[in-house]
């Protein structure tokens, strides 16, 4: 038998069921006591008492208390300075809760420490963190699919630059050189750009390509987030001064902060090491 609770909600539902079962057992005992009282009433054994105090009779069934006029039957032969002791039984409702707590404790131990149906608090925390991480990644992936040439942004994080470098090494070095120095394609390390040097311009060129210049479109191959990562990596190449650079082409771009940042350059150096 293998029962597993992956969430706190499932575990909560399980304990609710257990509590309801225990409550049903206690309620059944109360109903049986009421039935016995009614049976005695029908036989005429306690008709007068029931007519005079029906609520007392019901309460007596729950407490199992001995009537005052019959306390001599449970009187113990102990006398402490005139104080005497009665041998009363524990109330049925109290016994029901006591035995119920024992059953609950046994189920708890078997559940958590023997059969391990449910995760412990630390395990439940780790499961929740794993689920939350998966949800965040799914949201970020969904958000990444909505990036276009208008919404692309500079991202100098090490993860984005590293992933962009990998894609650049696989897709772009044939035309732009291993260090962005240029070849068939233009030099990506100087300040001159044929189609603009902002993150949005670079994203658009990678996405749509420049067919008349031999630059293919990558929108069918790369996801929007990957195109943004490549564009961010290309931005970090500015001013790296590789050997044998291709002559500048296009117009000088002076966009400033959106074209390159000190953080992006530092990240690129770290990535290359």
Summarised one tens digit per residue, pLDDT across range 201-238 is 999 999 999 999 889 999 888 988 899 999 999 999 99
Query: Within this chain, do residues 110 and 168 fall inside the same structural domain, yes or no?
Result: no
Q: Is residue 134 part of a domain?
A: no
Tell which wins on pLDDT, 178 or 260. Answer: 178
**Total domain count, the chain:** 2
Q: Is residue 247 part of a domain?
A: yes
> Which pLDDT belongs to residue 215?
92
Q: Is residue 56 part of a domain?
A: yes
Q: Is residue 132 part of a domain?
A: no
CB 150 within 8 A of CB 203: no
Summarised one tens digit per residue, pLDDT across range 126-171 is 988 999 988 887 876 776 677 888 888 999 999 999 999 999 999 9
End position of a domain, from candidates 97, 122, 147: 122
Q: Is residue 127 part of a domain?
A: no
Q: Which CATH number do you get for residue 263? A: 1.10.760.10
Per DSSP, the residues of the chain read ------SHHHHHHHHHHHHHHHHHHHHHHHHHHHHHHHHHHHHTSSHHHHHH-HHHHHHHHHH-PPPGGGGGGGEEEEEETTEEEE-PPPPHHHHHHHHHHHHHHHHHHIIIIIS--S--HHHHHHHHHHHHHHHHHHHHHHHHTT--TTT------HHHHHHHHHHHHHHTHHHH-TTS--SSSPPSSSSEESS--SHHHHHHHHHH-BGGGTB---TTTS-HHHHHHHHHHHHHTTT---SSPPPP-SEE---GGGT--HHHHHHHHHHH-
d(CA 117, CA 3): 5
End position of a domain, from candidates 105, 122, 139: 122
The domain containing residue 89 runs over which residues? 8-122
Q: Is residue 152 part of a domain?
A: no
End position of a domain, from candidates 122, 147, 172: 122
> Which pLDDT belongs to residue 58?
59
> Which pLDDT belongs to residue 228?
92
Q: Is residue 72 part of a domain?
A: yes
Query: Within this chain, do residues 109 and 195 fall inside the same structural domain, yes or no?
Result: no
Query: Within this chain, do residues 44 and 117 fall inside the same structural domain, yes or no?
Result: yes
């Amino acid at each position: 038998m293998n029962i597993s609770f992956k969430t706190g909600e499932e575990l909560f539902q399980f304990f609710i069921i257990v509590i309801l079962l225990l409550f049903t057992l206690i309620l059944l005992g109360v109903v049986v006591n009421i039935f016995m009282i009614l049976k005695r009433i029908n036989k005429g054994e306690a008709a007068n008492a029931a007519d005079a105090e029906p609520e007392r009779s019901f309460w007596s069934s729950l407490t199992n208390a001995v009537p005052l006029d019959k306390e001599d039957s449970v009187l113990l032969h102990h006398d402490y300075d005139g104080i005497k002791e009665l041998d009363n039984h524990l109330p049925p409702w109290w016994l029901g809760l006591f035995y119920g707590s024992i059953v609950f404790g046994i189920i708890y131990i078997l559940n958590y420490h023997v059969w391990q149906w449910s995760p412990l608090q630390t395990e439940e925390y780790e499961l929740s963190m794993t689920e939350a991480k998966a949800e965040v990644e799914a949201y970020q992936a969904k958000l990444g699919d909505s990036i276009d040439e208008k919404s692309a942004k500079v991202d100098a994080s090490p993860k984005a630059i590293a992933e962009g470098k990998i894609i650049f090494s696989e897709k772009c070095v044939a035309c732009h050189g291993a260090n962005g120095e240029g070849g068939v394609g233009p030099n990506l390390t100087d300040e001159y750009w044929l189609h603009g040097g902002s993150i949005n311009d670079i994203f658009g060129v990678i996405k749509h390509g420049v067919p008349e210049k031999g630059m293919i479109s990558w929108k069918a191959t790369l996801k929007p987030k990957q195109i943004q990562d490549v564009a961010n990596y290309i931005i970090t190449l500015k001013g790296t001064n590789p050997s044998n650079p291709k002559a500048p082409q296009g117009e000088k771009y002076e966009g400033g902060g959106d074209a390159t940042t000190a953080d992006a350059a530092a990240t690129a150096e770290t990535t290359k090491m």
